[in-house]
């Protein structure tokens, strides 16, 4: 895996600087004595376990853009989709723990996906060093106006509605399954490949309800083409102030998507500190804050330790809830 | 005239020198990356995205859109010259395009494809201009049952368009359907044929399959051929389609445009099915369908027109409903968000300059592409004059590189080699790779939507006939499936009047 001219070409393109690309080539030869020079001395790869264009990818690009200015080296984003991001994470784990190989990590991969997939596909937080938490992305349940439902209570009175999810092992599936059980709603769950086809299906009233990430449905909600029913964050989403949370309605469904930056296990403390500072400086930039606003993301810029404790707690919570309500995500 | 005013203002936006420049830039980049298999428009747009932060939203989207439809033009070139279809929607082009190239008529094929792409693209834009809000609803009328019926029809068309043995085509298609099942079951999370390998968890990507079976398989086969008989490099006779070729393909281009426009609106698989359907339609209409697969110009004109019309109309769901129909559209969505514009139902009202600026830039972009393609055709066909000993390894290298860049995965490179060997063996034993690849693409569409339909319809198969669109599609399916049998029965009855044949022989032929 030494000579991939194309990856270098991508590096060069992304940094738009031939000089940096050359540094990258030289970097392989011998950078054992990292302590002598100030970190970083060469480009830092950010691996994203999702295809280009999705919200995870856009977040990685926005944060890399800012941090690369702060660190003074290029931070090319490398997309490596597969197995909900597990593939990218496992690959990152195998990279040298020198701070030059980072990855984004979605909370659902460690908190929800293990409930739906086999042991071999599951990943654990123990296998990585978490550098910093990034943001929170909320799930909203939307309905077709033709379905004639405006609230969870309306849903309980209907029979035979179809509920779209964005796929097996996602927050959308978990949140919706929990609500159906807790509120005793009769309905059929229909998994789609991702958010966009699920939204399309609700717009056409092919399924009457779906739970998707806010960014995927906000424009349609604003245009009155989709009716927001409930948000699954514990507090009201600031971009959707009028919509009640499931917690307010009396249900115990604290499901949101969280994202964090991680590095291979065993990355030196001072390198992690430097990276953390650069991310924190990015958080303060106007460009990054504007990015969060436009993508309807709520900042959740917490430390690596907080990420670990919060996500571990969530994983346990979801496991308990699915056990309590007898939900098997594998059998939707 | 209220309607026309913003349209005209849109032209004002496009004709600003900056926008024209970015439009040109976009289509040139698009065409170049279209030539490189694997490096698709989605990856390119992702890389170039940061460059658009500093420029005006309209300008940015004009450039990104240019990359997208420019790539459709470029993709044809490798399909015709090297038998490398970079996208599912250009698999069908390979059938006749590569044959034409082998006969020294690569110029004809590329010329016809360029003209067809231009006409298809332009008709798509006209449709986008005048029908966008109306036909957007068409995409919404397509629920799981409709997609299932459409995919079923598509798979049947796969079997009918192939040449040679129908049985072998069916075997290849069945193998394609089987390959489509590899990966995690999207309904239950169960792993299927992954052998615990994470690389297979999301199934097999289209590109390694197509690159291996068509590209590498052909290279391997040719190596063997050359040992038997030394073959001179293909002669490149004409560089421009003759008047007769144009006349022959005009109908195909017209029908392909309409088919492509409507099917392209459907997110997921629309463009592939449109190219397939356009090809099948031409073959059915043709007086001598046996020419297809052996270098019929209509066989290039129809799918190329259709996939370009589809590429254009795939903007409709994004611009009118806010739904990204494919990975490239998802990136456009992201690019618009970064610019502070949320694509959605209100886009036309809130940002008319953006909407019409982008739509109208496509007219200009298409003209630019046509102007560029014509002289380039002459240059590209020269590739065929390169000796096979040089061309084959270079092609193989590009193929591997292309496969690697899609997911940045070495595993995909290994897949290309594996499918290259399968492709070689298939060719050796008289199997066409086309049905396998197309069935592979349509297989997951069929399976997922059939299961989704059964969930929505509560397991009632009759529900498919209770919905007008799916019922119509299924009736067409039955017709297409049964018509050849009726036809041969009728023909036989006619023949029976003239001479008496034994019943046993008749039975054998009907089967």
- Tell me the per-residue pLDDT of B249-264, one tens digit each, with 9 for 90 and over: 999 999 999 999 999 8
Of A53, A82, A201, the CB nearest to B42: A53
Q: Which residue of B has its CA nearest to A114?
A: B189
**Average pLDDT, integer, range A304-330:** 93
The span from the CA of B297 to the CA of A123, in Å, is 53
Checking if the pLDDT of A295 tops 80, the result is yes
Q: Which residue of A has its CA nearest to B318?
A: A196
Considering A133-137, B18-22, B403-407, B486-490, the range whose residues carry the highest mean pLDDT is A133-137
Of B187, B196, B340, the CB nearest to A332: B187
Shortest alpha-carbon distance between residue A9 and chain B (Å): 11
Which has the higher per-residue pLDDT, A171 or B52?
Answer: A171
Nearest Cα residue to B82 out of B206, B222, B280, B209: B222
**Average pLDDT, integer, range A242-266:** 95
Checking if the pLDDT of A30 tops 50, the result is no
**Average pLDDT, integer, range B498-510:** 52
Using pLDDT thresholds of 50, 70 and 90, give the confidence band for residue B498.
Answer: low
- Tell me the per-residue pLDDT of B401-449, one tens digit each, with 9 for 90 and over: 888 887 788 999 999 999 999 999 998 998 988 889 889 989 988 999 9
Question: What pLDDT, on a 0 to 100 scale, did the predictor assign at position B76?
Answer: 85
Burial class of residue B16 (count of CB atoms within 10 Å of its CB; 0-12, 13-18, 19+): middle
Mean pLDDT lowest among B277-291, B323-337, B469-483: B323-337
- Evaluate whether B42 touches B331 at the Cβ level (below 8 Å): yes
Cβ distance of A58 and B342 shorter than 8 Å? no
Strand partners, A230: A141
Question: What pLDDT, on a 0 to 100 scale, did the predictor assign at position A256?
Answer: 95
**Average pLDDT, integer, range B10-25:** 87
Count CA within 13 A, CB hemisphere, residue A193. 16
The span from the CA of A62 to the CA of A299, in Å, is 13
- Tell me the per-residue pLDDT of A184-235, one tens digit each, with 9 for 90 and over: 999 999 999 888 889 999 999 999 999 999 988 999 999 999 999 999 999 9
Q: What is the ipTM of this complex?
A: 0.82
Using pLDDT thresholds of 50, 70 and 90, give the confidence band for residue A300.
Answer: very high
Question: What pLDDT, on a 0 to 100 scale, did the predictor assign at position A302?
Answer: 96
Nearest Cα residue to A47 out of A261, A285, A294: A261
Question: What pLDDT, on a 0 to 100 scale, did the predictor assign at position A18?
Answer: 39
Q: Which residue of A has its CA nearest to B331?
A: A53
Question: What pLDDT, on a 0 to 100 scale, did the predictor assign at position A206?
Answer: 93
Give CA separation, B349 vs A199, A223, B27, B354, in Å.
Answer: 21, 11, 28, 10
Which has the higher per-residue pLDDT, A330 or B508?
Answer: A330
Q: Which residue of B has its CA nearest to A122?
A: B198
**Residue ranges of domains in chain A, CATH in brackets:** 5-24+41-136+256-319 (3.40.190.150), 138-255 (3.40.190.10)
Cβ distance of B50 and A65 shorter than 8 Å? yes
Question: What pLDDT, on a 0 to 100 scale, did the predictor assign at position B149?
Answer: 93
Mean pLDDT lowest among A143-147, A166-170, A179-183, B413-417: A166-170
Strand ranges, E, within B119-261: 183-184, 191-192
Checking if the pLDDT of A19 tops 90, the result is no
The span from the CA of B162 to the CA of B437, in Å, is 12
Contacts of B404 in chain A (CB under 8 A): 4, 6
- Tell me the per-residue pLDDT of B40-77, one tens digit each, with 9 for 90 and over: 777 788 778 777 877 888 898 889 999 988 888 888 88
- Evaluate whether B93 touches B80 at the Cβ level (below 8 Å): yes
Using pLDDT thresholds of 50, 70 and 90, give the confidence band for residue B228.
Answer: low
Cβ distance of B345 and A223 shorter than 8 Å? yes
If residue B270 lies in a helix (H) or strand (E), which one and from where to where?
helix B270-285
Cβ distance of B407 and A58 shorter than 8 Å? no
Instruction: Choose the mutation target among B40, B47, B182, B322 for the interface with A, i.e. most A CBs under 10 Å.
Output: B322
Checking if the pLDDT of A273 tops 90, the result is yes
Question: β-strands A209-213, A161-165: how paired?
Answer: parallel
| Backbone torsions φ then ψ of B105, nearest 5 degrees | -110, 35
Residue B303 CB neighbour total at 10 angstroms: 38
Strand partners, A190: A164
Residues with Cβ within 8 Å of B217's Cβ and at least 6 positions away in sequence, in order, are B419, B420, B421, B422, B423, B424, B426, B427, B433
Mean pLDDT lowest among A140-154, A227-241, B327-341: B327-341
- Evaluate whether B157 touches B280 at the Cβ level (below 8 Å): yes
List the end-to-end C-alpha distance of chain B, in Å, as a whole number: 61
Of A13, A117, A215, the CB nearest to B184: A117
Question: What pLDDT, on a 0 to 100 scale, did the predictor assign at position B85?
Answer: 83
Contacts of A190 in chain B (CB under 8 A): 144, 452, 455-456
DSSP three-state, residue A128 = strand
Checking if the pLDDT of A250 tops 90, the result is yes
The span from the CA of B139 to the CA of B314, in Å, is 10
| pLDDT, averaged across chain B | 84
The span from the CA of B464 to the CA of B153, in Å, is 14
- Tell me the per-residue pLDDT of B157-193, one tens digit each, with 9 for 90 and over: 887 777 778 888 889 999 999 999 998 888 888 888 9
Checking if the pLDDT of A151 tops 90, the result is yes
- Tell me the per-residue pLDDT of A129-140, one tens digit each, with 9 for 90 and over: 999 999 999 999
- Tell me the per-residue pLDDT of B141-164, one tens digit each, with 9 for 90 and over: 888 999 999 999 988 888 777 777
Which has the higher per-residue pLDDT, A249 or B134?
Answer: A249
| Chain A / chain B CB contacts < 8 angstroms | 173
Domain boundaries, chain B: 4-466, 467-511
- Tell me the per-residue pLDDT of A46-69, one tens digit each, with 9 for 90 and over: 999 988 777 898 899 999 999 999
Cβ distance of B143 and A206 shorter than 8 Å? yes
**Average pLDDT, integer, range A248-259:** 95
Question: What pLDDT, on a 0 to 100 scale, did the predictor assign at position A3?
Answer: 41
Cβ distance of A203 and B140 shorter than 8 Å? yes
Residues with Cβ within 8 Å of B28's Cβ and at least 6 positions away in sequence, in order, are B70, B372
Contacts of B49 in chain A (CB under 8 A): 61
Question: What pLDDT, on a 0 to 100 scale, did the predictor assign at position B116?
Answer: 93
């Amino acid at each position: 895996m030494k000579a991939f001219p194309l990856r270098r070409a991508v590096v060069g393109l992304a940094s738009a600087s031939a000089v940096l690309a050359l540094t990258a080539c030289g970097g392989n030869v011998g950078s054992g004595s990292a302590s002598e020079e100030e970190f970083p001395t060469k480009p830092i790869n950010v691996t994203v376990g999702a295809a280009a264009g999705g919200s995870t990818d856009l977040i990685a690009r926005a944060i890399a853009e800012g941090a690369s200015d702060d660190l003074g080296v290029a931070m090319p984003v490398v997309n490596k989709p597969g197995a909900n991001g597990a593939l990218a994470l496992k690959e990152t784990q195998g990279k040298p723990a020198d701070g030059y190989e980072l990855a984004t990590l979605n909370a659902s991969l460690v908190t929800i996906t293990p409930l739906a997939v086999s042991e071999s596909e599951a990943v654990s937080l123990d296998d990585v060093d978490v550098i910093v938490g990034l943001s929170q992305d909320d799930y909203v349940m939307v309905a077709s106006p033709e379905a004639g439902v405006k609230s969870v209570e309306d849903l309980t009175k209907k029979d035979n509605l179809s509920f779209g999810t964005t796929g097996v092992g996602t927050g959308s599936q978990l949140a919706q399954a929990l609500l159906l059980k807790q509120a005793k709603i009769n309905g059929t769950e229909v998994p789609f490949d991702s958010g966009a086809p699920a939204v399309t299906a609700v717009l056409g009233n092919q399924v009457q309800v779906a739970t998707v990430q806010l960014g995927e449905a906000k424009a349609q909600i604003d245009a009155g083409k989709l009716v927001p029913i409930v948000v699954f964050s514990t507090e009201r989403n600031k971009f959707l102030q009028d919509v009640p949370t499931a917690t307010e309605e009396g249900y115990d469904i604290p499901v949101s998507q969280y994202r964090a930056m991680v590095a291979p296990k065993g990355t030196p403390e001072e390198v992690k500190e430097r990276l953390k500072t650069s991310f924190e400086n990015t958080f303060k930039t106007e460009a990054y804050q504007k990015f969060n606003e436009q993508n309807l993301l709520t900042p959740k810029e917490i430390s690596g330790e907080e990420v670990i404790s919060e996500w571990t707690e969530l994983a346990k919570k979801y496991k308990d809830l699915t056990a309590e309500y007898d939900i098997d995500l594998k059998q939707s | 005239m209220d309607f026309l005013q913003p349209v005209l203002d849109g032209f004002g936006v496009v004709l600003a020198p900056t926008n024209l420049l970015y439009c040109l830039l976009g289509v040139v980049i698009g065409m170049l990356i279209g030539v490189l298999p694997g490096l698709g428009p989605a990856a390119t747009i992702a890389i170039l995205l940061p460059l658009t932060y500093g420029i005006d939203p309209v300008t940015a989207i004009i450039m990104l859109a240019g990359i997208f439809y420019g790539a459709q033009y470029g993709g044809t070139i490798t399909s015709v010259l090297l038998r490398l279809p970079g996208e599912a929607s250009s698999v069908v082009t390979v059938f006749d395009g590569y044959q034409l190239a082998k006969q020294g008529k690569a110029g004809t094929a590329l010329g016809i494809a360029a003209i067809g792409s231009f006409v298809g693209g332009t008709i798509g834009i006209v449709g986008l201009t005048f029908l966008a809000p109306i036909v957007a609803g068409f995409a919404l009328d397509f629920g799981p049952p409709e997609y299932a019926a459409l995919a079923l029809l598509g798979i049947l068309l796969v079997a009918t368009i192939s040449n040679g043995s129908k049985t072998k085509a069916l075997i290849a298609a069945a193998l394609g359907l089987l390959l489509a099942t590899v990966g995690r079951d999207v309904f239950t999370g169960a792993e299927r044929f992954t052998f615990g390998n994470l690389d297979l968890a999301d199934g097999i990507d289209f590109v390694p399959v197509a690159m291996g079976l068509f590209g590498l398989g052909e290279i391997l086969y040719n190596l063997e051929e050359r040992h038997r008989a030394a073959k001179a490099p293909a002669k490149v006779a004409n560089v421009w389609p003759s008047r007769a070729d144009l006349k022959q393909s005009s109908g195909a281009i017209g029908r392909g445009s309409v088919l492509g426009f409507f099917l392209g609106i459907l997110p997921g698989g629309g463009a592939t099915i449109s190219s397939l359907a356009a090809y099948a339609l031409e073959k059915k209409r043709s007086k001598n369908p046996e020419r297809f697969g052996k270098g019929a110009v209509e066989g290039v004109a129809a799918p190329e027109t259709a996939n370009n019309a589809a590429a254009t109309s795939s903007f409709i769901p994004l611009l009118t409903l806010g739904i990204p129909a494919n990975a490239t559209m998802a990136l456009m969505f992201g690019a618009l968000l970064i610019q502070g514009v949320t694509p959605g139902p209100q886009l036309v009202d809130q940002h008319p300059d953006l909407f019409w600026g982008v739509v109208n830039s496509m007219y200009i972009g298409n003209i630019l592409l046509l102007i560029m393609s014509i002289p380039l055709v002459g240059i590209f066909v020269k590739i065929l004059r390169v000796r096979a000993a040089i061309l084959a390894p270079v092609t193989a290298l590009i193929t591997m590189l292309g496969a690697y860049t899609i997911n940045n995965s070495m595993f995909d490179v290994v897949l290309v080699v594996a499918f290259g060997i399968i492709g070689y063996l298939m060719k050796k034993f008289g199997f066409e790779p086309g049905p396998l690849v197309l069935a592979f693409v349509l297989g997951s569409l069929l399976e997922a939507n059939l299961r989704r339909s059964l969930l929505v319809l509560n397991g009632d198969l009759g529900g498919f006939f209770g919905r007008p669109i799916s019922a119509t599609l299924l009736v067409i399916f039955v017709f297409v499936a049964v018509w050849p049998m009726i036809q041969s029965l009728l023909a036989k009855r006619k023949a029976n009047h003239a001479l008496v044949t034994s019943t046993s022989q008749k039975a054998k032929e009907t089967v």
